[in-house]
Chain A
Amino acid sequence: MPDWQKLVGQRLAGLALGAAEKQEIYTELAGHLEESYECLRAEGLADQEAIHRTLAQVADWRDLQRRIIIAKKTEDPMQNRLHQLWIPGFLTLTLSTIFLMTLQIHGYQPRIISWNGPDTILLYVPWLLSLPLFGGLGAYLSQRAGSPGSRVLLASIFPVLSLAACLFVILPVSFIVDAHVEHRIRMASFLRSFFEWVLVPGAALLAGGLPVQFFLSRRLASRRTAVD
């Protein structure tokens, strides 16, 4: 009878897992092969035939190795979402908010861009300049947790998504609270806020998130090609 443990160890030598976990897999699979072999022998098969039939359970050991690695790296979908979206997203949101608050505490005044008389927009330029960095960080953390591309981008623009959500809550509330304000003025104010706090910061975050996502996904693809 072959040394099944040794045989499995040799054929799955490239399992990219921790030593203890790898050893457990070898023991488990070797136990399975040994029981299959003993069962076939008990049915009356000759030694060589039983070995042949037992080993025929695995047509391609490299493929089995690959599938075990994929399976071991599969995570709970909830855990996935936590690591790929919520943690990077909230970190990006927190850091960018702290930076904006620091600017405001230190008395930094926003740049006022005016056109057409009273129509103005306020832009915190140093904050906007910092956003590509935060967007890139969110994208990096999300990509490192194995996110698909769309989720990487969502994590990188997470701060503006939460701001957009706030604005969309504030708008209907303002219809009730400030009922005397003209709709035209209210909508203009909403659009201006949307531009200042969602569109421009969103573009800045994407300016950091997109290159990181592009660069990391290409690196990952080339690594996969090398493994295959």
Chain B
Amino acid sequence: MIGSGIKRGTAELAVLSVLQEGPLHGYELARRIEQQTNGALHFTLAALYPMLYRMEQQRWIRGSWETSRNGRRRRCYRLTPGGKKKLAPLRREWAELFRALHRLTKVAHA
């Protein structure tokens, strides 16, 4: 079973990475992550918003209300400079972890 710390770390990395491509509202953000990971990462409403609010409080992302062409009000999230700064070490840490796991599994199969 994947621990909550690892889950939270991957979720944060996913959100920050996708927002680096441009601002998105919550629903679109969840869809984009699901599409880009071929369904491996799936965010329900209950999982997504508490995380977005926490990341906003930590000033990694910023939300602002925008009105779409069909008149619907949506809160769009964009990456802040603090979020960009957070993303680089987060990526490095996860890359290191995956490399380590890869090495470990290769040894286990040998």
Contacts and interface: CB of A to CB of B under 8 A. Distances in A.
A32 B26 contact: yes
A217 interface: no
B51 A71 contact: yes
Contact of B58 (A27, A31, A70, A74): A74
Contacts of B2: none
A31 B73 contact: yes
Contacts of B40: none
Given A31-B72, A33-B45, A57-B44, A71 B27 contact: no
A188 interface: no
12 contacts: A32-B27, A59-B46, A60-B46, A63-B46, A64-B46, A67-B46, A70-B50, A71-B54, A72-B57, A73-B57, A74-B53, A74-B58
Contact of A76 (B27, B50, B58, B74): B58
A225 B53 CA distance: 24
Nearest to A72: B53
B27 A36 contact: yes
B70 to A, nearest CB: 11
Interface of A: 24-25, 27-29, 31-33, 35-36, 57-60, 63-64, 67-68, 70-77
The main secondary structure of chain A at its interface with chain B is helix
Interface string B12-35: 000000000000011100000000
A65 B46 CA distance: 9
Contacts of B54: 70-71, 74
Nearest to B82: A76
Contacts of B72: 31
B91 interface: no
Given A32-B26, A68-B53, A71-B50, A76 B59 contact: yes
Given A57-B44, A72-B57, A29 B49 contact: yes
Nearest to B58: A76
B75 interface: yes
